[in-house]
């Protein structure tokens, strides 16, 4: 029987047979908040709009159970010791060796023929002594689940992966985009109009930074909260053209939709 063709711009997460889980425990839209950003003075990292945009791209795949992992530096699968609070087929496992920790997923992902899935580490989350491994999956045709993998960076060190922490995120990626996109090198002076825009944007940006620093110093002295353009880079948020002063349509954060349950359709 031929598989159903998915409509364009569609990701489908098929639950594997016999799996009885709550999908929200394993997958969710990417969230804007980060603990390390909250902990900064006046949470000033949230003023960086490109950072917020990256935080909100795609869907996060979550760790179902807290596990402590220890690698002795060996290359075989038994060189990793894993203690988990909830043993099972989707908990942390040693599959590839060489200090790599693996999670199996309760889904097999499919995408419409125009898309693959870019699987990355969780955006702008940090973790001591371990690093996520990125992958690009041809989910437009692959009829098999992929795995999530992290590499332990220090031997003989306990590394904890807490329940509910994002292990990875998935983002749709047009299959033809990279091969069909040109990357050109040119002199900025060859486009004087664009150079003028850059110079004007830079001058306004420096003025805005100086105002932010002044507002931050005053807030530190008085305890006042930062407000207005002293908090946000108004140019980038509004995407204003320097010459015409009009707003350009501009998306500053993304809002991936929650997964839709179509199991009864």
For residues 109 and 35, state if they share a domain.
Answer: yes
Range of the domain at 72: 11-175
**The pLDDT of residue 263:** 85
261 in a structural domain: no
Q: Is the confidence at residue 264, as pLDDT, over 90?
A: no
The residue ranges of DSSP E strands in the chain, in sequence order, are 11-15, 27-29, 59-62, 67-71, 80-84, 100-104, 107-111, 115-120, 130-132, 135-137, 147-152, 159-161, 166-174
Considering the domain boundaries, does residue 253 fall inside one? no
* Mean predicted confidence (pLDDT) in 190-204: 91
How many Å apart are CA 197 and CA 216, to the nearest integer?
A: 28
Please indicate, yes or no, whether residues 226 and 138 belong to a single structural domain of this protein.
Answer: no
Is the Cβ–Cβ distance between 130 and 151 less than 8 Å? yes
> What is the CATH number for 96?
2.70.40
Q: What tens digit of pLDDT does each residue of 89-111 get?
A: 999 999 999 999 999 999 999 99
Strand 100-104's sheet: what is its strand order? 100-104, 147-152, 130-132
Within 8 A by CB and 6+ apart from 193, the residues are: none
Same domain, 199 and 102: no
Condensed to tens digits (0 to 9), the pLDDT of residues 224-251 reads 655 554 444 555 656 554 444 555 566 7
Q: Do 144 and 49 share a structural domain?
A: yes
Residue 74 resides in a domain = yes
Contact 139, 111 (CB under 8 A): yes
Mean pLDDT of 193-209: 86
Residue reference for tokens 């929650």: 258
Tell me whether residue 5 is in a domain: no
Give the number of domains in the chain.
2
Domain presence at residue 182: no
Q: pTM score > 0.95 for this model?
A: no
Q: 135 and 219: one domain? A: no
Tokens for 162? 């807490």
CA-CA-CA-CA dihedral for 49, 51, 53, 55, to nearest 10: -140
Residue 138 has pLDDT above 50, yes or no: yes
- Separation between Cα atoms, residue 217 and residue 226, nearest integer Å: 10
Over 60: is that where the pLDDT of 76 sits? yes
Task: Specify whether the backbone of 129 is left (phi greater than 0), alpha (psi in -120 to 50) or beta.
Answer: left
Same structural domain, 200 and 116: no
């Amino acid at each position: 029987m031929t598989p159903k063709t998915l409509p364009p711009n569609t990701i489908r997460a098929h639950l594997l047979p016999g799996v009885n889980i709550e999908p929200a425990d394993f997958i969710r839209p990417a969230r804007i908040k980060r603990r390390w950003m909250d902990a900064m003075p006046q949470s000033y990292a949230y003023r960086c709009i490109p950072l917020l945009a990256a935080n909100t791209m795609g869907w996060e795949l979550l760790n179902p159970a807290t596990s402590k992992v220890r690698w002795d530096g060996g290359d075989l699968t038994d060189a990793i010791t894993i203690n988990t609070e909830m043993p099972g087929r989707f908990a942390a496992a040693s599959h590839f060796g060489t200090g790599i920790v693996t999670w199996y997923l309760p889904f097999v992902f499919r995408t419409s023929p125009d898309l693959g899935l870019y699987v990355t580490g969780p955006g702008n989350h940090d973790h001591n002594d371990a690093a996520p491994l990125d992958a690009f999956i041809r989910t437009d045709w692959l009829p098999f689940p992929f795995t999530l993998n992290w590499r332990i960076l220090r031997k003989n060190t306990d590394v904890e992966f807490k329940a509910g922490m994002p292990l990875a995120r998935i983002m749709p990626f047009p299959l033809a985009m990279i091969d069909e996109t040109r990357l050109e090198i040119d002199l900025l002076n060859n486009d004087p109009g664009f150079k003028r825009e850059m110079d004007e944007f830079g001058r306004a940006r420096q003025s805005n930074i100086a105002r932010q620093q002044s507002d931050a110093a005053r807030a530190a002295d008085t305890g006042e909260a930062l407000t207005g353009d002293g908090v946000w880079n108004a140019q980038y948020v509004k995407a204003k053209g320097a010459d015409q002063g009009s707003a350009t349509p501009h998306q500053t954060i993304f809002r991936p939709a929650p997964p839709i349950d179509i199991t009864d359709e």
